[in-house]
Amino acid sequence: MLGQTILHRPKKSSGVPDVKASELLKPASRDEARLLDQLDTRRFPQHVAIIMDGNGRWAQRRHLPRVAGHRAGVRSAREVIETCARLRIQALTLYAFSLENWRRPPAEIDFLMRLLREYLRKELPVIHRNNIRLLVIGRPEQLPGEVQRDVERGMRQTAHNTGMRLAVALNYGGRAELVDAFNAILDRVRHNGLSTYRVDEETIADHLYTAGLPDPDLLIRTSGEMRLSNFLLWQIAYAEIHVTETLWPDFTRRQLLEALLDFQKRERRYGGLSVAEAAARGAGRARG
Ligand code: FPP
């Protein structure tokens, strides 16, 4: 039954032992230095997933076209990727283009695709130098051919990197991911004539686009919306959620450090009891 026992964390945190955060990252301001001092490198999330939202509003507030917001959003993405890699976070997933985003005006879609290609062309050497491995999750086969080729090249070039895994969700939908996983499982069952086969959680996780990655333990959403927007529906079952009013182009290293600190202040129970509650029950039993 839920809520009866303390469950151990399903997986250990990324745990960078005995290193101060300020040794991994040089603070660029007093605020950053203060935040870094408060962070415990042994308790960083293993996997940070981000719904980058608010590019359009950022541009609108400046009387700029929406695409200017997307261009500014690339700067934030670059800074967050670099920061997570330096902090030795194992995995970072960025929601860059959803299946629903095809409903936007063609000119905006075209701009987003070109921006992605430009980003890959400029940043791939940096990603590679930093030992980051690039992955794409979603249905990339439905993307324009040139985007598919650039993405494949990026994944091939970084395939042997052993540092942070950077998953870019492209043409991604959480329900579609589950549909694809179930169909892949059914194909295997039919192919191997496994008439008595029963599916379990591990098999489903192994057929998701994210197979091999730890589940996100921190989900960040910018621009204040309280929605999951069809993102990583299976994987975020136990994630802590950090929503900030900051619009994505204004989300810098400082906001990321604040989100990490917020994560470290949460008590993660996985349906069990808090440490204090369990201690009280234990003391009660010892007395009685
Ligand atoms: C949401 O803003 C953002 C997106 C549609 C994703 C695009 C993200 C980038 C361009 C950042 C760069 C990412 C990478 C991986 C290079 P919105 O247009 O929905 O904003 P709004 O809700 O204010 O309209």
15 domain-assigned: no
Domain that holds residue 154: 44-173+214-282
Q: How many domains does the chain have?
A: 1
Q: From atom 7 of ligand 1, which residue's Cα is the shortest distance away?
A: 96
3 domain-assigned: no
Tens-digit pLDDT string for the chain (288 aa): 233 333 333 444 555 567 999 999 999 999 999 999 999 999 999 999 999 999 999 999 999 999 999 999 999 999 999 999 999 999 999 999 999 999 999 999 999 999 999 999 999 999 999 999 999 999 999 999 999 999 999 999 999 999 999 999 999 999 999 999 999 999 999 999 888 889 999 999 999 999 999 999 999 999 999 999 999 999 999 999 999 999 999 999 999 999 999 999 997 777 776 766 766 676 555 554
255 domain-assigned: yes
5 domain-assigned: no
Q: Probe ligand 1: pick from 50, 55, 67, 230, max atoms within 8 Å of CB?
A: 55
Q: Are 77 and 155 in contact (CB under 8 A)?
A: no
Q: CATH number of the domain at 78, please.
A: 3.40.1180.10
pLDDT recorded at residue 268? 73
pLDDT tens readout for residues 91-145: 999 999 999 999 999 999 999 999 999 999 999 999 999 999 999 999 999 999 9
For the question of residue 37 being annotated catalytic, the response is: no
190 domain-assigned: no
Which residues lie closer than 8 Å to 137 by C-beta, 6 or more apart?
93, 167, 168, 169, 170, 172, 177, 209, 210
- The counts of H helices and E strands in the chain are 10, 6
Is the Cα torsion angle 17, 23, 25, 27 positive or negative in sign? positive
CA angle 149, 150, 152 (to 5 degrees): 65
- Residue 32 to residue 254: CA distance in whole angstroms: 6
pLDDT recorded at residue 17? 62
Q: Report the predicted TM-score, pTM, of the whole model to 2 decimal places.
A: 0.90
Q: What does the DSSP assignment read for 144-186?
A: -HHHHHHHHHHHHHHTT--S-EEEEEEEE-HHHHHHHHHHHHH
pLDDT recorded at residue 16? 59
259 domain-assigned: yes
Residue keyed to tokens 């967050």 = 80
193 domain-assigned: no
pLDDT recorded at residue 271? 72
Task: Write out the H or E segment, with its range, that includes residue 134.
Answer: strand 133-138
Ligand 1, CB cutoff 6 Å, lining residues: 52-57, 70, 73-74, 77, 94, 96, 101, 112, 115-116, 119, 168
pLDDT recorded at residue 2? 30
- The encoded tokens of residue 79 equal 């800074």
User: Which atom of ligand 1 is nearest the CA belonging to 59?
Assistant: 23
Q: From atom 12 of ligand 1, which residue's Cα is the shortest distance away?
A: 74
For the question of residue 230 being annotated catalytic, the response is: no
126 domain-assigned: yes
pLDDT tens readout for residues 253-265: 999 999 999 999 9
Task: Write out the H or E segment, with its range, that includes residue 80.
Answer: helix 66-86
- The encoded tokens of residue 275 equal 């440490």
pLDDT recorded at residue 194? 84
pLDDT recorded at residue 129? 96
Picking from 132, 35, 43, the residue whose alpha carbon sits closest to that of residue 92 is: 132
Residue keyed to tokens 């359009």 = 56
- Residue 70 to residue 78: CA distance in whole angstroms: 13
pLDDT tens readout for residues 195-209: 888 999 999 999 999
